[in-house]
C-alpha cells in the first residue's frame, strides 16, 4: 500500500464534483437540504441546485384545474417545491373537488377530498344535509348535517396518486355546531381499506369534552375503551383519524375510507372533507 499523508486534507468534500454533492444533498431531505445552504457558499450553490429539488419533487403531478399553473413559471425547482409544500395554499386538481399539496418535511403528496367529492348518504336531500359556502383549502362547499339517522360517508383515492412507500393517515375534517345531537355518547365506525381487500376498522367519536372523563367517568358513557377522540387543528376545524395505511408501490387500486353510524338521530355536524397526509413521524 502506498503511504498516505499523516494529516488528512481539509475540506475533503470539496473533491466531490458539484453533481455528486447535489446528489448527496438530495438524499438528506428537504429540511436538511435547506439547512445545508447555511454551511458555506459552496454548499449553498449545491443545495439550491435544481438537481436537488427535482428529486424531492414528485415526478408526476396529477392534472391540475385550469388556471392553476402560475402565469410565470417559478424560476427554480426549489421555489416550486416551496410553493407546492405551502399547506396554506394547496393546488386544485382538475376535478375541482380535490386539493393537493406536498408535505414539506418529506415531499409526500397530500390531499383534501372535499365533502362534494365524498359519497355522503342522503347528501343531496335538502331536509337532511345542507351545502354551505366556504373558502378554505380551495374548497368552496362544506356539508352541514341538519338531521339524519343514517350517517354514511365514503371516500376513495387511487393509490397511484399517493407517494410510494409512505405510511399515510386519513382524517375526517369537520366542525361542530353549537346545537348538536347524537354525537357525544355514540361512536362511529371508521374504516380504511386497500384495493378492496385489506381493511381496518376503528371506533371514533366526533364530539369533544371527553377529556374531562378522567375526573367524571360517567361522561364517557358506554364508549369503547379504544375509541379515538378528535382534536382541534391549527385552522380551527376538528379532525379525527379514520385509519392508517401503507402505500406500497402504488398499484394497490383504490384506497377507500368510510365513516358510519346509524343507531341514533344526529345533527349539528359540518363536514369539510377527508384529509390524507403522511403519518406524523416518530409516532
Partner 1 sequence: MAPPATDAATTKQEQQHAAGGEGVEVGGDLRLVAECGTVVRLSRSAARMSTTLFDMIEAGCAEGGIPIKGADVGTLRLVAAYCEKHAPHYDPVASAARLRDPFPPFPIEFTPASYAVKPVTQLDPDPHGLEAWDRKFISDLPDNSALFNLIIVANLMAIEDLVDLGCTAVADKMRGKTPDEIRVALDIENDYTPEQEAEVRRENAWAFED
x/- map, 48-67, partner 1, by CB under 8 A: -------xx-xx--------
User: Least separation, in Å, of the C-beta of 136 and partner 1?
Assistant: 22
What single DSSP character describes residue 191?
E
Subset of 14-53 contacting partner 1 (CB under 8 A) = 15-17, 20, 23-32, 34-41, 43-44
Sign of CA dihedral 153, 159, 164, 165: positive
Q: Which is nearer to partner 1, 72 or 251 (CB)?
A: 251
Q: Answer yes or no whether residue 199 interacts with partner 1 by CB under 8 A.
A: yes
DSSP helix/strand/coil, 12:
helix
Q: Answer yes or no whether residue 227 interacts with partner 1 by CB under 8 A.
A: no
Task: State the virtual CA torsion across 6, 11, 13, 19 in degrees, nearest 10.
Answer: -140
Q: Answer yes or no whether residue 243 interacts with partner 1 by CB under 8 A.
A: yes
Residue length of the chain: 283
Distance CA 214, CA 218 (A): 9
Near partner 1 by CB under 8 A: residue from 114, 186, 193, 258: 193
Give a three-class secondary structure readout of 46-97. HHCCHHHHHHHCCCCCCCECCCCCCCCCCCCHHHHHHHHCCCCCCEEECCCC
By CB under 8 A, name the binding residues for partner 1: 1-2, 8-13, 15-17, 20, 23-32, 34-41, 43-44, 55-56, 58-59, 104, 106-108, 163-167, 192-195, 197-200, 202, 243-249, 251-252, 278-279, 281-282
Amino acid at each position: 500500500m502506498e503511504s498516505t499523508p499523516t494529516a488528512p486534507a481539509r475540506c475533503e468534500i470539496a473533491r466531490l464534483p458539484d453533481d455528486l454533492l447535489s446528489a448527496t444533498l438530495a438524499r438528506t431531505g428537504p429540511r436538511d437540504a435547506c439547512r445545508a445552504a447555511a454551511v458555506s457558499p459552496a454548499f449553498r450553490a449545491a443545495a439550491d441546485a435544481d438537481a436537488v429539488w427535482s428529486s424531492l419533487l414528485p415526478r408526476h403531478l396529477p392534472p391540475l384545474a385550469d388556471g392553476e399553473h402560475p402565469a410565470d413559471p417559478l424560476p427554480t425547482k426549489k421555489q416550486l417545491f416551496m410553493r407546492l409544500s405551502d399547506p396554506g395554499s394547496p393546488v386544485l386538481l382538475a376535478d375541482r373537488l380535490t386539493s393537493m399539496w406536498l408535505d414539506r418535511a418529506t415531499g409526500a403528496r397530500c390531499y383534501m377530498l372535499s365533502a362534494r367529492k365524498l359519497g355522503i348518504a342522503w347528501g343531496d336531500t335538502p331536509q337532511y344535509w345542507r351545502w354551505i359556502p366556504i373558502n378554505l383549502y380551495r374548497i368552496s362547499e362544506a356539508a352541514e348535517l341538519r338531521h339524519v339517522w343514517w350517517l354514511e360517508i365514503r371516500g376513495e383515492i387511487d393509490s397511484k396518486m399517493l407517494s410510494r412507500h409512505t405510511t399515510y393517515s386519513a382524517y375526517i375534517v369537520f366542525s361542530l355546531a353549537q346545537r348538536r345531537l347524537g354525537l357525544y355518547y355514540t361512536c362511529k365506525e371508521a374504516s380504511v381499506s386497500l384495493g378492496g381487500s385489506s381493511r381496518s376498522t376503528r371506533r371514533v367519536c366526533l364530539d369533544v369534552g371527553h377529556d374531562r372523563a378522567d375526573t367524571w367517568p360517567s361522561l364517557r358513557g358506554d364508549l369503547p375503551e379504544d375509541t379515538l377522540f378528535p382534536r382541534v387543528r391549527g385552522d380551527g376545524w376538528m379532525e379525527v383519524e379514520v385509519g392508517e395505511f401503507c402505500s406500497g408501490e402504488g398499484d394497490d387500486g383504490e384506497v377507500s375510507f368510510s365513516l358510519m353510524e346509524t343507531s341514533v338521530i344526529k345533527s349539528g355536524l359540518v363536514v369539510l372533507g377527508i384529509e390524507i397526509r403522511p403519518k406524523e413521524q416518530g409516532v
